Amino acid sequence: MTAPLPNPGKKYDLDFARWVYDNVNGGDKMALCMQCGVCSGSCPIGTNMDHGPRKLFMMIRAGMQEAVMTSNTPANCTSCYRCVVRCPRSVPVTYILQDLLAKQAELGYRAKDSNENIAFAKSFWWSARAFGRTDERLVTAKYYWSFGPAEFWKRSMENLKIALGFIKKGRMHIGMPHSVKDKKGLKAILDKAREIESRG
């Protein structure tokens, strides 16, 4: 246990914390956090995060804007809600992380190591927009392709056996991708949503 000693001379910039409290969904509740660590300790992929929710909240309080906005912690959240269920102070950890992720993108920050997440999100939305469905073959293929032909080939070969297994068990269909009936209508809905969002 090596806790760094408090430095009374250090000045903290509270502007960023106040901005988070006021602008991030659930941010006002973040003030209740007592740093017990049950969120990071319960997180199934907490070891993949650079900071984990508890530390990220402390960094927000400490005014570490740059580090928070480039953290991969929000992008890695899988929204399993374990932290929300277990938080003794009822802090909506998942909502805060989700909205922080949106704010990172909105304000032009790019979380480090987030290329994979962005590539996957783009592939997913491409399929959702084109068919109103996620076709796992096309999403996966597009996702792999975004890392270049060599990587596409390598990753596809690695997963070939799994894909064949899926097909054998009837878990992955072969043929044209499934689609919603009114693709035009779906696109109109999504365009309208984007327009409403851009109004702010």
Where on the chain is the footprint of other proteins (CB under 8 A)? Answer: 1-3, 34-38, 40-43, 46-47, 51-52, 54-55, 82, 85-90
Collapsing DSSP to helix, strand or coil, 14 comes out as coil
Instruction: Give just the sign of the alpha carbon dihedral 144, 161, 49, 25.
Output: positive
Reported as half-sphere exposure (CB side, CA atoms, 13 A), residue 135 has a value of 18
- Locate 13 and state its tokens: 């910039």
Q: Closer CB to other proteins, residue 2 or residue 7?
A: 2
Q: What is the dihedral of CA 44, 66, 21, 87, to 10 degrees?
A: 20
DSSP secondary structure letters along 76-113: H-----HHHHH-TT---HHHHHHHHHHHHHHTT---TT
* Least distance between other proteins and beta carbon 19 (Å): 24
Q: Closer CB to other proteins, residue 49 or residue 139?
A: 49
- Locate 46 and state its tokens: 């907490």
* Least distance between other proteins and beta carbon 29 (Å): 11
* Least distance between other proteins and beta carbon 28 (Å): 16
Q: Closer CB to other proteins, residue 55 or residue 137?
A: 55
Q: Closer CB to other proteins, residue 73 or residue 123?
A: 73
Q: Closer CB to other proteins, residue 17 or residue 83?
A: 83
Q: How far apart are CA 38 and CA 118, in angstroms?
A: 28
Q: Closer CB to other proteins, residue 85 or residue 160?
A: 85
* Least distance between other proteins and beta carbon 92 (Å): 12
* Least distance between other proteins and beta carbon 122 (Å): 31
* Least distance between other proteins and beta carbon 22 (Å): 23
